[in-house]
Amino acid sequence: MQTPVQDSQLIRQKMKTLAQRNPAYQELCQLVGELLLETLQEADGWQEPAPQPSCDSSGLAQGRSLWDREALELDWPRLWDLAERLARSLSSRPGGDQTLLAIGNLRAAAGEKGGGQGAGAFRAVLTADRQALDRLAQKHGGELQVLALVLRMALRPALLAAARRARQEVDLAAWSFGHCPVCGSAPGLAHLEGEGGKRTLHCSLCETPWPYPRLQCPFCESQEPGIISRLKAQEEEGLQVEVCSRCGQYIKTLDLREIAGPVILPLDDAATWHLDLVVQEQGCKGT
């Protein structure tokens, strides 16, 4: 099964492929791709230990994930260093100086060890608390979407390293739930591949992939026949949105039988935002 991509050549090729598929996303893919490439320098030497599991094998069998996201303790000073470097790399772009200033203000609020009040910005990303992140953006300046992207990219090396260790130490083969077995986050994307289109979900936070039944909703976990409807992107083969009529949530899906992989979640998510807009206008809810 595919693991989260941390290869510069694959990232550059994906940036090119996505820009060719939809030229309107060329600038956005360039921005996200450059941030991803910058984080690879950190990823090579990042030895983040796997967080202490919050459950045992019996907990996993009952659907409890390995980590408690709200209690995660990471190398906050190193995360702030990376966030500042990423923000500095955006300083030449419109609004870049404002983002760098916001990151500096948030770090100052975090204190010397980086885990105080200002760490609430990282915790807001860890727990997908967009309202908290919005309040911090308004207080400290910075455009919400860009600030969220920088913080998310700064977290990526630590989360991927810790998730990789967790997957090595714990057998997750029997996991059958719709949320991530490692961190408990909702899936951010799905992909189909192989005979019959076997479905794999990708965690929106630590990017852990896991197999999941094609006809089951990962959010409400209903298997009721006919509840999943599929909206295919016009003139974009291999892209679709799977919507649950029971809970109203949706997941964007890449069919790797029709388009080239691998899945690189930050890039593939950014290059399909038009699908989010379409289904959200219809009242559907995303992660």
Judge whether 208 lies within some domain.
Answer: yes
In a domain, 31, yes or no: yes
57 is a domain residue? yes
pTM, full prediction: 0.91
Is 49 a member of any domain? yes
- Asked whether the beta carbons of 66 and 182 are under 8 A apart, the reply is yes
**Of 169, 199, 219, which residue is a domain's last?**
169
One domain for residues 122 and 203? no
Within-domain flag for 3: no
Task: Tell whether 165 and 195 lie within a shared domain.
Answer: no
Print the domain residue range for 248. Answer: 187-281
Rg of the chain over Cα atoms, rounded to whole angstroms, equals 19
* 262 belongs to a structural domain: yes
Contact (CB, 8 A) for 247 and 220: yes
Domain boundary among 127, 142, 169: 169
Instruction: Give every residue of the chain whose pLDDT is below 50, as ranges.
Output: none
User: Do both 211 and 148 map to the same domain?
Assistant: no
Token look-up 């057998």 returns 171
Q: Among 277, 63, 271, which Cα is nearest to 254's?
A: 271
* Sign of the CA dihedral with 217 first, then 209, 63, and 68 last: negative
Q: Are residues 233 and 151 in the same domain?
A: no
Q: Judge if 274 and 148 occupy the same domain.
A: no
Mapped onto helix, strand or coil, the DSSP state of residue 37 is helix
Q: Within this chain, do residues 141 and 211 fall inside the same structural domain, yes or no?
A: no
Residues 29 and 101 in one domain: yes
169, 202, 221 - which closes a domain: 169
In tens, the pLDDT along 130-142 reads 999 999 888 888 7
Number of domains within the chain = 2
Residues 198 and 89 in one domain: no
> What is the pairing mode between strands 209-211 and 198-203?
antiparallel
Predicted confidence at residue 269, as pLDDT, reads: 96
pLDDT computed for residue 50 by the predictor:
62
Residues 131 and 197 in one domain: no
**For residues 210 and 105, what is the distance between their CA atoms, to the nearest angstrom?**
38
Please report the pLDDT score of residue 193 as a whole number: 95
Q: What are phi and psi of 121, to 5 degrees?
A: -65, -45
Same domain, 90 and 192: no
- Domain assignment present for residue 145? The answer is yes
* Residue 212 in tokens: 């999941």
Tell me, yes or no, whether 90 and 225 share the same domain. no
In a domain, 39, yes or no: yes
Same-domain check for residues 265 and 141 = no
